[in-house]
Structure 1
Amino acid sequence: MRLSEDDHRKVSEAVTAAEAHTSGEIVTIVAGASDRYHDVALHWTVLAMLLVLALLAVFPGVAAGIHQTLIDGWAQETPASAYYTIALVLMALTFLVCRVLLAWRPLRIALTPGATRSRRVRAKAVQLFRTGAEKKTIGATGVLLYLSLDEHRAEIIADEAIHSRVTPDVWGHAMASLVAAVKDGRPGDGMAAAVEEIGVVLAEHFPRGSDDTNELPDRLIEL
């Protein structure tokens, strides 16, 4: 899912409109995904290999059948070395198949626990906030609205001055509007709606002064 030029325009206009009533600065960032989740793919691959080993232990006749079919059809007994060799080959094949299948990112994300996805999205949002918004304004009034499309998750990170006055639960409705729109395939509308609600909160606590200047870019940043 990518955002169109019209989506970018909607979000940028929403940021400009919201900042017209507040000294706060809103930064909007959209990413395709917050992590590659290769470690998750490796965990599932190792689990599949161990499952193969467990199945061979429970059903040793499988290894004996493979030995008689492919190696020595006249053997009355399967030597221990054959069991080890067959197990090693099957585990290696399992590793290769799983790695190929899990090279597809949507599958890796689908197999990633929800809590892990949430932690990775939060960590990425914090990293981007520290890089592009934290303490970048005179009054420490920057807010990051971050959307990670593949995970269907979003985060709002606020600067020190805002965080001291606005509790995280205040952003709940903005987050709900954003996530609902993303699930409907309207990420641009969701971002714009969330920005509007963030602007209302900021205007209440940080009304715009006569000497206020635009310190952070209004445009939507797509990674």
Structure 2
Amino acid sequence: MSEADHAAVGAAVTAAEKRTDGEIVTVVAPQSDSYHDVALHWAVLAMLGMLALLAAFPWTAERGWALVDPWATRSPTGGLLAVALVLVTATFLLARLLLAWMPLRLALTPGSTEARRVRRRAVELFRVAAERQTRARTGVMLYLSLAERRAEIIADAAIYARVAPEVWGEAMGGLLTATRDGRPGEGMAAAVERIGAVLAEHFPRTEGDINELSDRLVEL
């Protein structure tokens, strides 16, 4: 996120909060999880796949032993098991090495897993940054996870009681479209504007309202 993006999002929050008692917090993260378990699962699957290949084509282990002892007329059982162990171990380590590259790891992560991890991270941050941080329980957090290209809108108790989750659909849709097009700052600013409109409808600004939470974009 560029300085211009930070400025645009901060300005959008300030403008939106002029019409409502609600407080908007914006957070952007490079990613929501390391997905180490996903990499491990795929590495184990690759290892089991190698075992399956050796079972289906046992002559490959014999060829491997022939490289070790080209003069042998018969491959010993221990030698074949040693070759199998080497191939399985090499497969596991190679898979782990390849999956250290985050784009590949994300590409092999199920969408449902990404959605759960992004949601979990958003809730964790909301509890720290906005939940019960306002007198009227009117905090909303807009969270964007760049690597997954997923976003969440988490609302405090008073807002959750009045605004159904599907109401945020327009803000979420525009944000995700802009993020996929390489315009996350513009998308977040537009989403904040939409969130502000919803808050202004249900929680219009009253006299004496003060700014309780920071307007600036938080980039983790």
> Which band: TM-score by shorter chain?
over 0.9
C-alpha distance in 2, partners of 1:113/1:78?
42
User: Shift of residue 78 of structure 1?
Assistant: 1.2
Residue 160 (structure 2) pairs with residue 157 (structure 1): no
* Match of residue 75 from structure 1: 72
Match of 1:38 in 2: 36
Note if 1:118 corresponds to 2:115. yes
Tell me how far apart the structure 1 counterparts of residues 16 and 57 of structure 2 sit (CA, whole Å): 66
What amino acid sits opposite 1:187 in the alignment?
A: P
Q: Which runs of 4+ in 1 moved over 2 A?
A: none
Aligned-partner SS, 2:70: coil
* Residue equivalent to 2:142: 145
**Aligned counterparts of 2:170 and 2:50: Cα–Cα separation in 1:** 47
Instruction: Show the counterpart of 1:171.
Output: 168
Q: Output one character per residue of 1:183-218: Cα deviation in whole Å (capped at 9) or x when no partner.
A: 110000000000000000000000111110000000
Identity among equivalent pairs (%): 63
Choose the corresponding residue for 2:2, options 1, 4, 13. Answer: 4
Spell out, residue by residue over 1:146-202, the C-alpha distance to the aligned partner (whole angstroms, 9 max, x if none): 000000100000000000000000000000000000011000000000000000000
Where does residue 209 of structure 1 map in the other structure? 206
Does residue 133 of structure 1 match 2:130? Answer: yes
For 2:77 and 2:147, the matched residues in 1 are separated by 47
Which residue does the alignment assign to 1:84? 81
Alignment partner of 1:109 out of 106, 109, 128: 106
Task: Map 1:177-188; keep pairs closer than 5 Å.
Answer: 177-188=174-185
Q: C-alpha separation between the residues in 2 aligned to 1:113 and 1:77?
A: 46
Aligned-partner Cα distance in 2 for 1:220–1:155: 15
Q: Could you tell me which runs of 5 or more consecutive residues in structure 1 were left unpaired when the two chains were aligned.
A: none
Q: Does structure 1 residue 194 correspond to structure 2 residue 186?
A: no
Cα distance in 2, alignment partners of residues 92 and 64 from structure 1: 17
Which ranges in structure 2 are unaligned for 5 or more consecutive residues? none
Quote the Cα distance in structure 1 between the aligned partners of 2:161 and 2:91: 52
Give the partner amino acid of 1:110: A
**CA deviation after TM superposition for structure 1 residue 54, in Å:** 0.7
How large is the Cα RMSD of the aligned pairs?
0.7
User: CA–CA distance in 2 between the matches of 1:66 and 1:211?
Assistant: 80
Q: What is the Cα deviation at residue 105 of structure 1?
A: 1.1
Matched residues in 1 for 2:84 and 2:68: separation?
Answer: 14
Cα displacement string for residues 93-127 of structure 1 (whole angstroms, at most 9, x for unaligned residues): 11221111111111111110000000000000000
- For residues 126 and 76 of structure 1, what CA distance do their matches in structure 2 show? 65
